[in-house]
Amino acid sequence: MSIDPRLLELLELIGTSETQNKPVRPDKLALELGCSLDDLGKLLENALKERLVERIADMWRLTDKGRIEVQSHRERYIHERYGHKPGFLGRATRFVEGNIHDWRGHWRRRHGLDENSLRGFYRNIQDLEGRVEETSSLVELRPSERGIVAFALGGYGLMRSHSR
């Protein structure tokens, strides 16, 4: 299923507010998404119709289906952004890989993650506060800039040597 990128952003924001156990206000959601309250209403209506969210009292919460979509989106994003080298070689590798159906197997076979590393990786992307698009690699930090390590991902040799 292909989901509107703005809907995925909405799901991530709702998931973050859920993780923090804070109700999320519609005006704040609209501001974060850069859309009007009317557009937000349409996105929420679509999310409800697709059973990606539910409303309990004054809180929007992700359904299991919504959590799966967020995890799948984050996993694909991380793979595209950090799993392969930038440029021609990375694009060629992604083309050769094609559409991945077994992500766990792919992470094990192609990127050297063992089962223990995979459990930690999935836990980290589930617990990620904010949108995955707001992440950056450590090499992108400038001197004196601070960040929070949200997950570790490296090449086959790096991950294999640290998972023993």
The total of other beta-carbon atoms located within 10 Å of residue 65's CB is: 13
Could you give all domains of the chain from N- to C-terminal order, each with its CATH number? 5-62 (1.10.10.10), 67-162 (no CATH)
pLDDT digits (tens, 9 = 90+) for 88-135: 877 777 777 777 888 899 888 888 888 888 888 888 888 888 788 888
How large is the average pLDDT for residues 139-159? Answer: 75
- What is the pLDDT at residue 159? 47
- pLDDT higher than 70, residue 45: yes
